[in-house]
A = this chain, B = another copy of it.
Amino acid sequence: MTNQLDIVFGALADPTRRAVVEQLTLGPAAVSALHDGHDMALPTFLKHLKVLEESGLVSSTKKGRVRTVHIEAAPLRVMDDWLKRQKDMWEGRLDRLARLAEALNEEDST
């Protein structure tokens, strides 16, 4: 039953991983530079990067000894689409309720 949304929502349910995504929206960054901003051991930080990479939210390329991490927009878009569908359904329902209330009001006033 595990699907992409499970993995992407799960990947973002952590402040370190969200901070990495936030930082990468500004541009690609080397692993060492990303790690600098976080007060944790490198192996722990690398585990977070691995979760992000497995979720598809980031990808990385290695040149010499430097691994550079990039954000990938597609999983954010999948999540955004899901949220938008919920919002549309929810707002559609509120619109229907408003019309119903209006109709009842008109009925009352006749």
Which A positions have Cβ atoms within 8 angstroms of B?
1-3, 5-7, 9-10, 12-15, 18, 21-22, 25-27, 71, 73, 76, 79-80, 82-83, 85-87, 89-90, 93
A84 to chain B, nearest CB (A): 8
Question: How many copies of this chain are found per oligomer?
Answer: 2
Q: Is the CB–CB distance between A93 and B26 below 8 Å?
A: yes
**The one of B10, B18, B87, B93 that contacts A82, using a Cβ cutoff of 8 Å:** B18
A3 to chain B, nearest CB (A): 7
Please list 26 pairs of residues, one from A and one from B, whose beta carbons are closer than 8 Å in the complex, sorted by A's number.
Answer: A1-B15, A2-B15, A3-B15, A5-B12, A5-B15, A6-B14, A7-B13, A9-B9, A9-B10, A10-B10, A10-B13, A13-B13, A21-B86, A22-B85, A25-B89, A25-B90, A25-B93, A26-B89, A26-B93, A27-B93, A71-B90, A76-B83, A76-B86, A76-B87, A76-B90, A79-B83
